[in-house]
C-alpha cells in the first residue's frame, strides 16, 4: 500500500480525538486564564489570578496533602506489589501465568464496587467491628471509616494489581544466569537481590509508583466515599469548582496543574527506565 | 536463607497478597446471599436481595442506560480504533505528536477529561444526555481498542499484504479479506475491553450526563446508593456488576492470547 492510504484510515479516529479530547483540553487551558464572573460564569478577560490562587497557602496545603496521601499509597502499593511480583516470579514457570491472572483480576471489576467493599469492612457496624465484638473485645474501637487511613487503604487496594503487573514484567525477564553468577561469586541471597535484581527492575517499580501516584492524586471517588468528605484532595477540589462552587476558571487552573504534575512524573519515569535499560545494555556489552 | 525456607516465605507473601485482594470481594459475595443482608449475622442463604434488585425500576433503568452507552460506544470505538491502529502501523514514520494524541486518553486523569468535556459541551450549548456520555466514552475506548490491535499488528507479516496487492487486490479488498481476518481475535478482545471499561466508567459519565434523571448510568446509581449508606441491595448489585465485567474481560484475555491458525 502506498504511504498515503493510512491517512484515510486514521482520519475518523483522529478527528474524533481532536474534537472531543484535544479541543476540550485546550479549552480548559484557555479557561484557566479567564476571570470568573460575580455570579459564576466566565468573563473573557485575561488574568493570571487563577494560577496564582493555585499557589495560595490554602490550596497549596490541599495539594501537599493530596501529594502526601498519593505518595504514601504509592509507596505501600509498590512495597506489597513488588514483593508479590517477586514471589510470583519465583514460582515454577508453568504456574506463573495463572497466579498473575488472579492477581490482576480484581483490577477489572468495578472501581466503585471495590471501594464499597471497604465501607462494608470498615464501617461502625461493619465486619471488622463485628469480628472484634465476636471475639469478646468490648472496648472502644477507633473510627476506621472516613479517615485518611481508610483512603490510603482504598487506593492501595484498588491499584495494587497494576503494580504487581508492572513489577512482574522486568522480574520475569531477568536472566537466571545472572542470579547464579552472583551467587557463585559468593554474594548472599540478600546481596544478590540488593545489588543485582533490584537495580535491574527499577523501571517496573518506577512505572508502578508513578501510576499509583498519578491516579491517586487526582482521585475523587475514594476520598468522597472512604474519606467521607472529611478532607479534600485535588480531585474533590476540582469537582467542587465545577459542580458546586461554580468557579470554572479556577477549576481549570487546578486541572492544568494536575496535568503538569502528571507529565513531569511521566517524563521522569521514562527517563528512569531509559537510563536503566541503557545501563543493562552497557553491562551486557561489557561481557 | 536456605532454598526451602525462602520458598515458604514466597508462599507466605503470595497468600497474604491474595487474601488482601480477595477477602473484601468475597465478603460482598457472601453478604449478597445473606437473608438478613447485614454483616453482623448470618441468617441463612437467600436470593431475596437479587429479587429486590429486579423489582427496583431505578436500577433496571440505569442498567439499560449503561448497556446502551457501552454497546454504542464500543461499536464506534472498535471501528475507529481498529482503522486507526492499521493506519498507524502501515505508516513507517512514527510521529511523536501522533503517538501522544493516541496515548493521551489512556493516561489523562478521568476528572480532567470529564471537566474538559463538560466545559466543551456546555459552552457549545450542546444538550447533554446519554449521547454525550457515548461520545465521551468513545474517546478513551477507541484508544484502548487501538492499543490492543496495534499489539497484534506488531507481529503481523506485512508481506502477505504485498502478496495480495501483487495478485491484483485493491486496498479495500486487501483490508477486508487479508488484514481484518487475521486481526479479528484482537479486535474482539479490544471491543470486550472497551465494553468493560464503559460499563464501569463513572466520573466521565457523571459529568457529561446532564441533569436529567433519564440519563443515569449504573455506576452513577451505585455511587448515589453508596453515599446513602450500606444497604443489602447494593451488595447484590455489586456482585452482579463485578461478575459481568470479570467475565467479559476473561473472554477478552483468552481471545487475545489465542494464536492464529497457521502461525
Domain boundaries in chain B? 58-259
Q: What mean pLDDT do residues B23-48 have?
A: 85
How far does the CA of residue B261 sit from the closest CA of chain A (Å)?
A: 22
Q: Which of A14-23, A29-38, B15-24, B62-71 has the lowest mean pLDDT?
A: A29-38
Burial of B52 (0-12, 13-18, 19+ CB in 10 A): middle
Q: Which of B135-139, B140-144, B214-218, B257-261 has the lowest mean pLDDT?
A: B257-261
* pLDDT value, residue B82: 95
Domain membership flag for residue A105: no
* pLDDT value, residue A275: 75
* pLDDT value, residue B92: 67
Rounded to 5 degrees, φ, ψ at A42 are -130, 130
* pLDDT value, residue B261: 32
Burial of A78 (0-12, 13-18, 19+ CB in 10 A): buried
Q: Do A1 and B91 touch (CB under 8 A)?
A: no
Q: Check CB contact of A191 with chain B, cutoff 8 Å.
A: no
* pLDDT value, residue A212: 93
Q: Which of A25, A108, A125 sits opposite B246 (nearest CB)?
A: A108
* pLDDT value, residue A133: 78
What string of H, E and C letters represents the secondary structure of B173-242? HHHHHHHHHHHHHHHHHHHHHHHHHHHHCCHHHHHHCCCCHHHCCHHHHHHHHHHHCCCHHHHHHHHHHH
How far does the CA of residue B202 sit from the closest CA of chain A (Å)?
A: 8
Residue B112's closest CA among A235, A100, A157?
A235
CA distances from A170 to A89, A213, A281, B64 (A): 10, 20, 14, 42
Helix (H, G, I), strand (E, B) or coil at A35: strand
Q: Do A108 and B241 touch (CB under 8 A)?
A: no
Whether A287 shows a pLDDT value over 50: the answer reads no
For position A176, which CATH number holds? 1.10.3720.10
Whether A190 shows a pLDDT value over 60: the answer reads yes
Residue A225: list chain B partners with CB under 8 A: 223, 226-227
Residue B151: list chain A partners with CB under 8 A: none
* pLDDT value, residue A281: 60
Residue A91: list chain B partners with CB under 8 A: 10, 14
Q: What total of structural domains would you count in chain A?
A: 1
The Cα–Cα gap between A251 and A247 comes to 6
* pLDDT value, residue A108: 82
Whether A251 shows a pLDDT value over 80: the answer reads yes
Helix, strand, coil abundance in chain B, percent, nearest 5? 80, 0, 20
Here the cell at position A217 is 492524586
**How many beta carbons lie within 10 A of that of residue B192, not counting itself?**
25
The domain at B58-259 falls in which architecture? Orthogonal Bundle (1.10)
Q: What mean pLDDT do residues B2-11 have?
A: 82
Whether B232 shows a pLDDT value over 90: the answer reads no
* B218-228 and B57-90 helices, crossing angle to 10°: 130
Per the model's pLDDT, the better-predicted residue between B174 and A230 turns out to be: B174
A287: Cβ contacts below 8 Å, ≥ 6 apart: none
Rounded to 5 degrees, φ, ψ at B185 are -60, -40
DSSP assigned state of A196: I
The Cα–Cα gap between B112 and A22 comes to 12
Segment of A3-12, A187-196, A278-287, B101-110 carrying the highest mean pLDDT: B101-110
Mutate to test the interface with A, among B14, B70, B100, B134 (most CBs of A within 10 A): B14
Q: Which of A112, A120, A242 sits opposite B118 (nearest CB)?
A: A242
The Cα–Cα gap between A43 and A41 comes to 7
Sign of the torsion formed by the C-alpha atoms of A188, A194, A195 and A198: positive
Q: Do B14 and A225 touch (CB under 8 A)?
A: no
DSSP assigned state of B95: -
Helix (H, G, I), strand (E, B) or coil at B108: coil
Q: Which of B28, B108, B115 sits opposite A120 (nearest CB)?
A: B28
* pLDDT value, residue B247: 85
Whether B180 shows a pLDDT value over 60: the answer reads yes
* pLDDT value, residue B258: 46
CA distances from A32 to A28, A248, B115 (A): 6, 8, 12
* pLDDT value, residue A194: 85
Domain membership flag for residue A26: no
Confidence of residue A267 (pLDDT cuts 50, 70, 90): confident
* pLDDT value, residue A246: 85
Whether A1 shows a pLDDT value over 50: the answer reads no
Whether B85 shows a pLDDT value over 90: the answer reads yes
Are A85 and A164 spatial neighbours (Cβ–Cβ below 8 Å)? yes
- A234-245 pLDDT per residue, tens: 888 999 898 888
Whether A283 shows a pLDDT value over 70: the answer reads no
Mutate to test the interface with A, among B115, B147, B165, B233 (most CBs of A within 10 A): B115
Q: What mean pLDDT do residues A8-25 have?
A: 95
CB pairs under 8 A between A and B: 238
Whether B263 shows a pLDDT value over 50: the answer reads no
Here the cell at position B33 is 446471599
| Mean pLDDT across chain B | 88
Q: Which domain holds residue A151?
A: 60-97+147-286
Domain membership flag for residue A179: yes
Confidence of residue B211 (pLDDT cuts 50, 70, 90): confident
Residue A74's closest CA among A197, A160, A166?
A160
Per the model's pLDDT, the better-predicted residue between B250 and B106 turns out to be: B106
Scan residues 82-101 of A and list those with Cβ closer than 8 Å to B: 83-84, 86-88, 90-91, 99, 101
* pLDDT value, residue A83: 96
Whether B64 shows a pLDDT value over 60: the answer reads yes
Whether B207 shows a pLDDT value over 60: the answer reads yes
Here the cell at position B228 is 446513602
Domain membership flag for residue A55: no
CA distances from B91 to A88, A191, B87, B94, B161 (A): 39, 47, 6, 7, 14
* pLDDT value, residue B2: 53
Amino acid at each position: 500500500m502506498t504511504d498515503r492510504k493510512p491517512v484515510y484510515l486514521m482520519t475518523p479516529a483522529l478527528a474524533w480525538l481532536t474534537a472531543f479530547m484535544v479541543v476540550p483540553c485546550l479549552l480548559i487551558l484557555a479557561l484557566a486564564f479567564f476571570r470568573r464572573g460575580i455570579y459564576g460564569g466566565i468573563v473573557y478577560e485575561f488574568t493570571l489570578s487563577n494560577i496564582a490562587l493555585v499557589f495560595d497557602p490554602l490550596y497549596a496545603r490541599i495539594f501537599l496533602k493530596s501529594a502526601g496521601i498519593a505518595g504514601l499509597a504509592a509507596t505501600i502499593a509498590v512495597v506489597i506489589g513488588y514483593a508479590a511480583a517477586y514471589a510470583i516470579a519465583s514460582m515454577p514457570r508453568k504456574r506463573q501465568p495463572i497466579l498473575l491472572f488472579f492477581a490482576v483480576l480484581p483490577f477489572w471489576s468495578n472501581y466503585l464496587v471495590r471501594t464499597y467493599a471497604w465501607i462494608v469492612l470498615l464501617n461502625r457496624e461493619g465486619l471488622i467491628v463485628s469480628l472484634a465484638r465476636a471475639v469478646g473485645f468490648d472496648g472502644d474501637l477507633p473510627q476506621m471509616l472516613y479517615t485518611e487511613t481508610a483512603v490510603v487503604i482504598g487506593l492501595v487496594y484498588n491499584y495494587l494489581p497494576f503494580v504487581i503487573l508492572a513489577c512482574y514484567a522486568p522480574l520475569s525477564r531477568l536472566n537466571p544466569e545472572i542470579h547464579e553468577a552472583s551467587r557463585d561469586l559468593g554474594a548472599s541471597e540478600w546481596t544478590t537481590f540488593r545489588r543485582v535484581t533490584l537495580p535491574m527492575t527499577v523501571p517496573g517499580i518506577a512505572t508502578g509508583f508513578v501510576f499509583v501516584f498519578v491516579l491517586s492524586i487526582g482521585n475523587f471517588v475514594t476520598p468522597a466515599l472512604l474519606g467521607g468528605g472529611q478532607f479534600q484532595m485535588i480531585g474533590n477540589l476540582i469537582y467542587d469548582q465545577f459542580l458546586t462552587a461554580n468557579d470554572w476558571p479556577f477549576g481549570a487552573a487546578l486541572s492544568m496543574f494536575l496535568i503538569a504534575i502528571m507529565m513531569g512524573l511521566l517524563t521522569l519515569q521514562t527517563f528512569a527506565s531509559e537510563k536503566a535499560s541503557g545501563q543493562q545494555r552497557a553491562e551486557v556489552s561489557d561481557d | 536463607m536456605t532454598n526451602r525456607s525462602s520458598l515458604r516465605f514466597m508462599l507466605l507473601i503470595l497468600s497474604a497478597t491474595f487474601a488482601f485482594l480477595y477477602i473484601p470481594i468475597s465478603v460482598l459475595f457472601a453478604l449478597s446471599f445473606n437473608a438478613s443482608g447485614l454483616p453482623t449475622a448470618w441468617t441463612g442463604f437467600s436470593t431475596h436481595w437479587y429479587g429486590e434488585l429486579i423489582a427496583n425500576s431505578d436500577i433496571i433503568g440505569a442498567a439499560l442506560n449503561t448497556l446502551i452507552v457501552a454497546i454504542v460506544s464500543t461499536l464506534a470505538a472498535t471501528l475507529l480504533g481498529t482503522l486507526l491502529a492499521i493506519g498507524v502501523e502501515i505508516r513507517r514514520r512514527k510521529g511523536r505528536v501522533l503517538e501522544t494524541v493516541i496515548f493521551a486518553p489512556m493516561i489523562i486523569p478521568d476528572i480532567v477529561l470529564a471537566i474538559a468535556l463538560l466545559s466543551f459541551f456546555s459552552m457549545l450549548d450542546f444538550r447533554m444526555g446519554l449521547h454525550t456520555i457515548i461520545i465521551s466514552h468513545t474517546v478513551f475506548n477507541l484508544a484502548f481498542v487501538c492499543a490492543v490491535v496495534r499489539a497484534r499488528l506488531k507481529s503481523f507479516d506485512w508481506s502477505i499484504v504485498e502478496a495480495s496487492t501483487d495478485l491484483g487486490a485493491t486496498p479495500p479488498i486487501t483490508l477486508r479479506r487479508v488484514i481484518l481476518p487475521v486481526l479479528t481475535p484482537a479486535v474482539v478482545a479490544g471491543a470486550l475491553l472497551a465494553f468493560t471499561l464503559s460499563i464501569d466508567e463513572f466520573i466521565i459519565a457523571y459529568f457529561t450526563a446532564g441533569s436529567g434523571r433519564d440519563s443515569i448510568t449504573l455506576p452513577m446509581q451505585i455511587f448515589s446508593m453508596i453515599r446513602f449508606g450500606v444497604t443489602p441491595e447494593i451488595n447484590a448489585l455489586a456482585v452482579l456488576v463485578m461478575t459481568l465485567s470479570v467475565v467479559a474481560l476473561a473472554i477478552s484475555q483468552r481471545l487475545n492470547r489465542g494464536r492464529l491458525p497457521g502461525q
